[in-house]
Amino acid sequence: MFVTIEGVTLALVGLIAVDTAPAVAHDHVIKERIDLMRKGVLGNFKVIKAFVKDGKGSMADVEKVAKGVLAAAANVPALFPKGSGRPDADEKKTRSLAKICKEWATLEDASRLLVIGLRTNVIR
């Protein structure tokens, strides 16, 4: 059950890394996106991964941080407005590629699957 969640999260993170980059007009959304991915997804996901791989923490800890990942995942698509990725935005500000706009349905699906996986397997 956690392997699926890990795979979906990594797919989502991978898609975001390959996504759209920031333009000057999108500096604020880029900062929000980076903060959300670092804290809301990756930061919380480290706790889940430590529990699954190393047995650290408890299921209660996992459930608590899973709620943070859930909230973050639901907000990911909104933080990728068109033009907020490369080449429109400075590559020093974001690693997101314009490809995300071309594969928008994939981003939405990954976000939706992560939400479903967390609600089904982790959050009570």
Residue 117 in tokens:
């996986």
pLDDT band, residue 47 (cuts 50/70/90): very high
pLDDT band, residue 1 (cuts 50/70/90): very low
**pLDDT confidence of residue 16:** 54
Whether pLDDT at 13 is above 60: no
Write down the H helix ranges in the chain: 2-17, 27-35, 44-54, 59-75, 99-102, 104-121
In this structure, CATH architecture of domain 2-121: Up-down Bundle (1.20)
Please state, for a pLDDT cut of 70, what percent of the chain lies above it: 80
The dihedral sign for the CA sequence 85, 25, 92, 33: negative
**pLDDT confidence of residue 22:** 36
Q: What is the pLDDT of residues 85-105, one digit of tens each?
A: 888 878 888 888 878 878 889
Whether pLDDT at 23 is above 50: no
**pLDDT confidence of residue 76:** 87
Give this prediction's pTM. 0.65
3-state DSSP call for residue 86?
A: strand
Q: Who has greater pLDDT, 47 or 102?
A: 47
- Locate the domains of the chain by residue range: 2-121
Which CA distances in Å does 4 have to 74, 119, 120? 17, 13, 11
CA separation for the pair 96, 47 (Å, rounded): 25
